[in-house]
Structure 1
């Protein structure tokens, strides 16, 4: 069984003197917003600073002055961005950022990054970048090119793990596994004990969790199937400093790190990333919207030959 865990991501910053996304927008709007990309809201949690929606296809976070949405599978997130622009209006929007990473089977997607930014270009002038090599892990980022300047303290981190160990995959595909058991396996209480958590176990396999504390957020999405395993972790807490813990649990064959506005990225990765992982790609760029973006791809060198994967010619096989 195959599921495309790789996510698309959008962040929209609004003029908070004109609108509060947390106070002025109803849940009916957010329901319609996520339905535009063929996702549904499963549940939500809220505090005074943030509301987090757990989706059938990843997560939506809403603060007073911005939103962050991630969707996986075959969603077309750009349609939700278009919906937001059309209903809220560009006069209330400071900045639009749209991001998309390489997929396992990109040909099965309803659109490409190029298709998506062509649509966005009807509403905003922007710049686009690729972080990473085209024939390896890479991340595309499009941002509105205007006078917006991000605060240097506005930091986010992404840890994207591929081909998790057999042990982790077998644990996370155990029939009847509960959300509490997955929380324990991922050791979420170790670093996020004082966060409010909202999670969901998908049938037959898969797990998502949102966590919030004040303005801080964490989201984890797990696609555990051995043939396409993928785990994404995103937060505005420094994930580089705790990356070794997640890597010890998941033991992926490769992973990506992406940071916005961590100017100490090189020193932090040198200090906290286990030495058995080798850096394959390092890219940084200071965007005109004042975000300093760093991307690194790490691999675990293989010391043993593996057997070839036998393909099912009679069944549905996306790899073919």
Structure 2
């Protein structure tokens, strides 16, 4: 378990799509329950070596990390990992094999007296789908793999592809739970924001100068300040990392909440993502202000936002209003309900035509 802002290492070189790097992440969220007498620690008592072994199966490594009294946040060579006492969120990009983490994670959880109660997998549409290895060759294959590798007691299951008018932007969701009802804290939400065609001037700030002599941590902090990312949530403790020759990742830690940003800046397939968790009780202004800051930083050509909420509160209307105030127009909106995960609303935006 991590207790401080620590640890950086050089990332390994893992396979990359021949046509370019795949920015769109795969995201896996696992919830656990059990009779652990030290439930306040739970999964956080796992040895770092055990976590590294899981990540090796996925084909990524830890490059930086930070922790507080609530959870541990790891910046990976291919995105991020968050470990709470009874919850794990792992998202990876490139040609990683994220779903191969399921079996080893379930075994590790069992060792600390926890069993899986909910599994949620989400992703956007890959830019380079043909470069993805098994089991990520198609959403159908991913669902089959998930079905075969999660316990049978998670009997409430649903898979859905949420389309948009932009054929290159669809949202893929799989949820399995041992409860049919919504058991998330009332009012909580998760925003997953995917941005493509980033502003070219901004994207250049995520390239490092050759032989700059800086560590990934030092270069990352400079990028955070130079791009305005540090101002998105000024209360967050930021753990950032810059890759060589380009690319950037950041985890923000604010109490028991996380936020994360990942950037692939190359021309032709530039991509940036932002994810955060929050509560509708923070108010409409808080949600809108954060989202506006994100879009203003990256100035993307296309924005897609998946909002998952456990309550009837219409977070998606706040999302739409905030993004449209920045000169973009909503092109599509799709909604669906999932067992124990609540409602998911997927929206896409592009600049208004003059």
TM class by smaller structure = 0.7 to 0.9
Q: Which residue of 1 aligns with 2:227?
A: 186
Q: Deviations over 1:94-137 (max 9, x none)?
A: 11111121110101100222222211211345210112238231
Q: Is the 8 A contact 1:241 1:268 kept in 2?
A: no
- Distance in structure 2 (CA, Å) of the matches to 1:8 and 1:239: 24
Q: Which residue of 2 aligns with 1:256?
A: 304
Q: Deviations over 1:133-161 (max 9, x none)?
A: 38231111111143163222332111211
Asked if residue 114 in structure 1 is aligned to residue 140 in structure 2, the reply is yes
- Distance in structure 1 (CA, Å) of the matches to 2:146 and 2:232: 37
- Distance in structure 2 (CA, Å) of the matches to 1:257 and 1:2: 23
Residues 114, 207 of structure 1: CA spacing in aligned structure 2 closer, same or farther, 3 A cutoff? Answer: same
Residues 188, 250 of structure 1: CA spacing in aligned structure 2 closer, same or farther, 3 A cutoff? Answer: closer
Q: Which residue of 2 aligns with 1:7?
A: 25
- Distance in structure 2 (CA, Å) of the matches to 1:197 and 1:150: 26
Q: Which residue of 2 aligns with 1:310?
A: none
- Distance in structure 2 (CA, Å) of the matches to 1:116 and 1:49: 31
For structure 1, list consecutive stretches of 5 or more residues without a partner in the other structure. 304-320
Q: Which residue of 2 aligns with 1:294?
A: 345
Q: Which residue of 1 aligns with 2:92?
A: 71
Asked if residue 213 in structure 1 is aligned to residue 245 in structure 2, the reply is no
Shift of 1:29: 1.6
Match of 2:161 among 130, 133, 139: 130
Match of 2:79 among 44, 53, 58: 58
Asked if residue 151 in structure 1 is aligned to residue 172 in structure 2, the reply is no
Shift of 1:63: 0.8
SS of 2:22's equivalent in the other structure is coil
- Distance in structure 2 (CA, Å) of the matches to 1:87 and 1:132: 36
TM-score, with structure 1 as normaliser? 0.87
SS of 2:188's equivalent in the other structure is coil
Match of 1:246 among 283, 290, 294: 294
Residues 100, 269 of structure 1: CA spacing in aligned structure 2 closer, same or farther, 3 A cutoff? Answer: closer
TM-score, with structure 2 as normaliser? 0.79
Shift of 1:239: 4.9
- Distance in structure 2 (CA, Å) of the matches to 1:72 and 1:190: 25
Q: Is the 8 A contact 2:208 2:245 kept in 1?
A: no
Q: Is the 8 A contact 2:301 2:350 kept in 1?
A: yes
SS of 1:121's equivalent in the other structure is helix
Measured on the aligned residues, the alpha-carbon RMSD in Å equals 2.3
For structure 2, list consecutive stretches of 5 or more residues without a partner in the other structure. 1-18, 279-285
Residues 41, 265 of structure 1: CA spacing in aligned structure 2 closer, same or farther, 3 A cutoff? Answer: same
Asked if residue 281 in structure 1 is aligned to residue 332 in structure 2, the reply is yes
Q: Is the 8 A contact 2:233 2:290 kept in 1?
A: no
Work out the number of aligned pairs and report it.
Answer: 303
Q: Which residue of 1 aligns with 2:205?
A: 171
Q: Is the 8 A contact 1:186 1:246 kept in 2?
A: no
- Distance in structure 2 (CA, Å) of the matches to 1:277 and 1:165: 14
Q: Is the 8 A contact 2:64 2:76 kept in 1?
A: yes
Residues 266, 147 of structure 1: CA spacing in aligned structure 2 closer, same or farther, 3 A cutoff? Answer: closer
- Distance in structure 1 (CA, Å) of the matches to 2:239 and 2:60: 17
- Distance in structure 2 (CA, Å) of the matches to 1:171 and 1:286: 39
The runs of at least 4 consecutive aligned structure 1 residues that moved more than 4 Å come to none
